[in-house]
């Protein structure tokens, strides 16, 4: 049974490699919350089909004490905008969130977070280019 499992894992990895799909990201590979197939969460290290969209979608995180600023350098229009930012633990607990409107001028959120976690994940969701994540140190 174990051999069969290993065979299946290896087959999936080979198939993923052959198709250019990466199943988990390098920096988030050990994070249970984001150890999921490409095509659900994108990162600047593994942008998948959105390789040309990194600059406008990967969230940029600045930490200053308890203050965490998340910025997505993306335009905001009624047809195409950043919908949401979240701060999430690696176990998947949402610590903070902000939902944007297409009328917002920019996709910047500021959170005051007190946590014992050493590393958190910021997410940014575009209505056309899916969810992006960035692992950062607090």
Return the number of the residue (85 or 129) whose C-beta is nearest Fe ion: 129
Which pairing describes strands 60-64 and 94-99: parallel, antiparallel, or unpaired? unpaired
Closest residue to Fe ion, Cβ-based? Answer: 126
| Residues near Fe ion (CB under 5 A) | 126, 128-129
Return the number of the residue (9 or 128) whose C-beta is nearest Fe ion: 128
Return the number of the residue (9 or 80) whose C-beta is nearest Fe ion: 80
**Cα separation of 124 and 37, whole Å?**
17
Q: Give the position of tokens 């701060």.
A: 87
Closest approach, Cβ 129 to Fe ion, in A, equals 4
- The gap from C-alpha 65 to its chain's centroid, in whole angstroms, comes to 22
Closest approach, Cβ 80 to Fe ion, in A, equals 6
**Cα separation of 82 and 71, whole Å?**
10
Closest approach, Cβ 99 to Fe ion, in A, equals 16
């Amino acid at each position: 049974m174990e051999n069969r499992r290993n065979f299946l894992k290896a087959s999936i990895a080979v198939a993923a490699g052959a198709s250019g799909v990466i199943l988990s990201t390098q920096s988030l590979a050990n994070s249970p919350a984001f150890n999921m197939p490409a095509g659900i969460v994108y990162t600047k290290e593994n942008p998948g089909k959105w390789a040309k969209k990194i600059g406008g979608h990967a969230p940029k995180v600045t930490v200053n004490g308890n203050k965490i600023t998340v910025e997505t350098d993306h335009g905001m229009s009624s047809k195409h905008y950043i919908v949401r930012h979240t701060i999430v633990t690696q176990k998947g607990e949402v610590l903070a969130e902000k939902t944007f409107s297409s009328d917002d001028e920019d996709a910047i959120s500021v959170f005051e977070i007190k946590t014992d976690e050493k590393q958190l994940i910021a997410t940014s969701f575009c209505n056309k280019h899916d969810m992006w994540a960035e692992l950062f140190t607090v």
